[in-house]
Structures are given as C-alpha cells and as structure tokens.
Chains A and B, each alone.
Chain A
Amino acid sequence: GQSLEQPSEVTAVEGAIVQINCTYQTSGFYGLSWYQQHDGGAPTFLSYNALDGLEETGRFSSFLSRSDSYGYLLLQELQMKDSASYFCAVNYGQNFVFGPGTRLSVLP
C-alpha cells in the first residue's frame, strides 16, 4: 500500500533551522513534493524532488533518498510567518498521495 509518515508537531524559534522528515512505505512514484498550508487556507507548493539529492529554493530545501525511503524539508532562517502545516506528497503520474502533515510552530 501507500503510506507516508511525518512527525505531527515541530517547534522552533525564530531564526533557527528546522528539518521536517517524511518516511514512506511505497515505491514506483515519480517524485516527492512539499506543500505549506496556513490555518484555514489552501496548500501551496514549496519544493519537488524527482531525483535523489537536495533541491534548494530560497530559504527552503528538500531532500530525497529513495534507497532510504525518506525525504525531508529544511527551513532556514525561520520566520513567524512560517508557522503552518507542512505536507509531503508522492505522485504516481497524476495520482497524488499526501502525508498526514506536520504542524510547525515558530516561537519568538
């Protein structure tokens, strides 16, 4: 079956670096994506890994290791506005499977 796991909550202080992990028990997917969702809002795309390795987009980076069945999202120079839920997702062509999400709280 398809299953992704994420920590339910992470807390960090402003200016810090935080890593949100995503482990999975699935295979044959095209890529791993990360989405941010603020309370009451719509998810927005952050980063995508089709191949193993690190993808960097500004303060956000994402990593994928298919051999280890995990990926992570790295957020640097945390800001208060980064407080949100973060979801990993794998896609099989046009079919997407999302993880349960990690709620990040950034403290002053």
Chain B
Amino acid sequence: DGGITQSPKYLFRKEGQNVTLSCEQNLNHDAMYWYRQDPGQGLRLIYYSQIVNDFQKGDIAEGYSVSREKKESFPLTVTSAQKNPTAFYLCASSKSRGTLAKNIQYFGAGTRLSVL
C-alpha cells in the first residue's frame, strides 16, 4: 500500500541534543512538507521541498534543518537551537507542481516529540 511513514511515533529529547525525525513516502510525490502542531492549534509549516536537493523555509524554520537527498525521504532534524520543541510533528507529501490542479496533501501518522 502506498503512503507516508513517519518514525518514531514517540521521541524524547534531552536538553542540548539534536534529534532526527524520519519521513518516507512511496507515492512518487514530488513535494514534501514538515509541519508542527501544538495542542489545540493549527499546522505551522517548518520546511517544504518541491524537488530533490532543494527545500525552502516555512514560517517557523528556526531551530530546524532538513535534507532531501532522495525523492522518497525528507528527514527533519530538531536542533538544540529549538528551545521549545515539544509538539506533534507531521510530514506530508503532494503530487502537483505549482499548477491550478487540485493539490492534495497526504499526511503521515505523526511523531510526538517531548523534552526530558
């Protein structure tokens, strides 16, 4: 079955530690995204990538980094510079590339990050 896989489901970070969240998709989608969701809030865009080896900052990129070495993979690193990392992190992908066609995002199940 095609879809988006995020791992781990739960992650704990120690102060000063970098942690990496995995996101893999087998939908052959060009675009991939990372969002942060705080309790009772909407989704805020961290980074997105339209093609391999290219990515753009979203609204809250500070303290995060990404890479896009393969079409299927878009890992997110939460660095020690992110002072308030506790949140629900969602990865998504979409097929369309800047057209007026319906642009649907497909989401993974998410990773809950907490600080120890």
Residues of A within 8 A of B (CB): 30-31, 33, 35, 41-45, 48, 50, 87, 89, 91, 93-101, 103
Question: Which residue from A45, A89, A94 sits with its C-beta under 8 Å from B106?
Answer: A45
CA of A35 to CA of B99, assembled, Å: 20
| A-B pairs with beta carbons under 8 A, tally | 67
Residue B48 CB within 8 A of the other chain = yes
16 A-B contacts, Cβ less than 8 Å apart? A30-B99, A31-B100, A31-B103, A33-B103, A33-B105, A42-B108, A43-B90, A43-B105, A48-B104, A93-B98, A94-B48, A94-B94, A98-B43, A98-B44, A99-B42, A101-B40
Given contacts A31-B100, A45-B106, A48-B103, 19 further A-B contacts (CB under 8 A): A30-B100, A31-B102, A31-B103, A35-B105, A42-B107, A42-B108, A43-B43, A43-B90, A43-B105, A45-B104, A45-B105, A50-B102, A87-B42, A87-B43, A94-B50, A94-B96, A95-B56, A97-B45, A98-B43
Q: A residues within 8 A CB of B113?
A: none
0/1 string, B87-116, CB within 8 A of A gives 1? 000100010111111111111111000000
Query: A100, B42: Cβ atoms under 8 Å?
Result: yes
Interface of A is mostly: strand
Chain B's interface: helix, strand, loop or mixed, by majority? Answer: loop
